[in-house]
A and B are shown apart, each in its own frame.
Chain A
Amino acid sequence: MASNYLTGVGGESKQLATWYFTFAAILFGAQLLFGLVAATQYVMPGFLYGVLDFSIARILHINALVVWMVFAMFGSVYWLLPDETGIETVGIKIGKLLFWIFAAAIVVVVLVFLFIQVGKADATTIWFITEGREYIEAPRWADWGIVVVALGFVGNLFLTGMKGKQTGIVTVLMADMIAFAGLYLAGMFFTDNISVDQYWWWWVIHLWVEATWEVFVGAIAAYGLIKMIGAHRQVVEMWLWIEVAMLFGSGILGLGHHYFWIGTPEYWWEIGALFSALEPLPLVAMFVHVLYDWGKTQGSEEEKGNTRSVINNKPAFTWFVLNAFGNFLGAGIWGFFHTLPQVNLYTHGTQFTSAHGHLAFFGAYATILIGMFYIAIQGKNGIKVMKNTRASIWATSMITGGMMGMTVALTIAGYVQVIVSRAQMGATWSGYFDGQSGMWFTQAMDWRLIMGLVIFTGFIILAKDLLTTGKNPVHER
């Protein structure tokens, strides 16, 4: 390709990164599409009934979510490794081979979910069709495939980090990614005891999204700040270490807020409440950090009489700032809303959780990973200063605005459920449906669907921008 600038040191690693990003973006689209199906079913329960039931649409919705994020995370690491270490990624050929295995396995798993859906109540189903455990439904054979690919990825990262320059960012990523990969093992066994099942299931889910993934975001944000606004490495890495201390210090034992009601002892009330109440603090720190560095770098340029923006990639930086704010709002505020056991007794397992889940996954992860897509496009096309296009501004506004709207709608639905189904009706079958049939609940679900359509439209525009902006003459080369 004429416009391929990936020929310098680490060109192969960066090329692999673009593969990961491309596949991630496709899965992102699939995630939104199946989310729309599920949202439609809340409004019109007969929609695709018996063909693609809610459970299947939702499995595809949440698994595509997890997998596109994992792909984009792997891609981000392959992208930044040469920049950080100064060398080509060690074992990149194996890395590339593993990408194809990973992608092929995902396609098979998706096809099985789509067309086989459920199986008999036996071990064969668990091994080859579905494990039926939310977020990690992928059958056991795929689990082992994921472990092999993750080992290869961690191998690439470690060998490169040890051979090349081991910056603070690389060190954090090495420690974080091995924990990230290792935790997956906690979700790979079967037990008849549902309490034990849920106990370890949360090790995967919580210690991913509220610990290791957050630290990953901290590392990516640090890289982005150095790369996009020329922030001072020493300052950025100091912040990163503070964030690691705060994120792991609160997030690891914050796991306790999932252990209030699953059969586990009462002491988790106190532990979970205390540590998860602290979880928003590092997110405030991350928010302050991004804005502070931006202001500081811009300010020192202006002192020199330079009025031009220090940002060399506007769309990516926009998404990074949205990440700083979205992470705090979605994971921090919306998480804190219902994290104390006194509140959680009523909100646990309602649309309230769903509101938090949507805004947190979007704010904390989708944003920064989309930002990484743009950084890769900039690098791949040899762009010095990348500008926003009309499409990128529309896409960002529609996706973010739609997500906020959806979160508000789900929060209102959650309130109805908490008050009517839980507090008033005592959580029974009829109490549940009384809540679901209430006017405010159904209105909220209508709005959720509308907002889903806004997000999906935004995604189409985003996809168009990602595919075309690299060649757009508006950027400085």
Chain B
Amino acid sequence: MAKKSVWSDNRFWRRSATWVTGFASILLIWLTFDTSAQIAMGNDKDLKEGITKRVPGPTVINYKITYEMSNKRGHEVPIIGGNDGKGNSLFQQKEKFFGRDDYSEKEAKALLHLGKLGSQAKNCMDCHTLLGNGAYYAPDLTKAWLDPAWGPNGAMQALTGKNTKEEAMAEFLQHPDQYPTHARMMPDLGITAKEAKGLVAFLKHMSSIDTNGFPRNFGKIKGAVHGK
């Protein structure tokens, strides 16, 4: 009788399954430690000292944020407080947010906390995508803060009768049903003025997260690939 092959031995495959699973799990846990350190939220000191973080501290709302090509990385990256010309943040140029650019770490943290809570309490993710995750019934919000529609040349400031991006956004969030932009309208979710401010801070902060170039070409082009 032929000797039984290891390839048809259940014990061999059971052990293989255990080893493979164990190895993959350990590798995932190890990578999780590394990633967790890299995506931990930065703080005000980092911003003041010009240290680039994948997820900047809440006081990033005091700065001007843009989304520009980094030749080194081959895709767009968030630029905080001005570009050094090579696609790195200078952390110098400030930008007023609801009339101020001097939010303390505590104030900014509280705003971001309120906004993140609000984003969950109002089920934002079940119509919109955040960082590309969620539902596809409404636009992605990852870089919504940088969307030209809310800028000085966009339609939304005029539509809401506000002079700044953040005020236009906050007004829209409080009364979305009064400013229809499409047949598909955002419903009134009972968002208060305070909650709206938090939500806008949350959006501004999210736009400063380094998402490895997602979404590509955001807000750069009108109607043609690589066109201006």
Q: Which residues of A contact B (CB under 8 A)?
A: 38, 41-42, 45-46, 49-50, 53-56, 58-59, 117-123, 125-126, 129-134, 137, 168, 171, 190-199, 201, 234, 237-238, 241-242, 244-245, 248-249, 252-253, 255, 258-269, 271, 345-346, 348-351, 353-354, 417, 422-430, 432-433, 436-437
Contact = CB atoms under 8 A, between A and B. Distances in A.
Specify the main secondary structure of chain A where it touches its partner: helix
Contacts of A53: 127, 187
A129 B121 contact: yes
Interface footprint category on B:
35 or more
Q: Lowest 3 A-B CB distances belong to which pairs?
A: A132-B120, A121-B118, A261-B214
Interface in B129-161: 129-140, 142-144, 147-149
A132 B132 contact: no
B41 A193 contact: yes
Given A42-B137, A55-B123, A259-B35, A249 B24 contact: yes
A427 B113 contact: no
A216 B36 CA distance: 29
Contacts of A345: 213-216
B194 to A, nearest CB: 8
Given A195-B54, A253-B27, A245 B16 contact: yes
Interface in B165-201: 177, 181-185, 187-190, 192, 195, 198-199
B56 to A, nearest CB: 10
A424 B133 contact: no
B21 A248 contact: yes
A123 B216 contact: no
A268 B39 CA distance: 13
Contacts of A349: 129, 132-134, 136, 140
Nearest to B220: A426
Given A241-B13, A263-B54, A120 B195 contact: yes
B20 A261 contact: no
B121 A118 contact: yes
Nearest to B133: A198
Contacts of B195: 120-121
Contact of B209 (A238, A259, A263): A263
A265 B35 contact: yes
Contact of B224 (A130, A424, A433): A424
10 contacts: A45-B184, A56-B126, A59-B123, A118-B121, A130-B121, A132-B121, A195-B209, A265-B34, A267-B31, A425-B221
A425 to B, nearest CB: 7
Given A133-B120, A249-B21, A426 B216 contact: yes
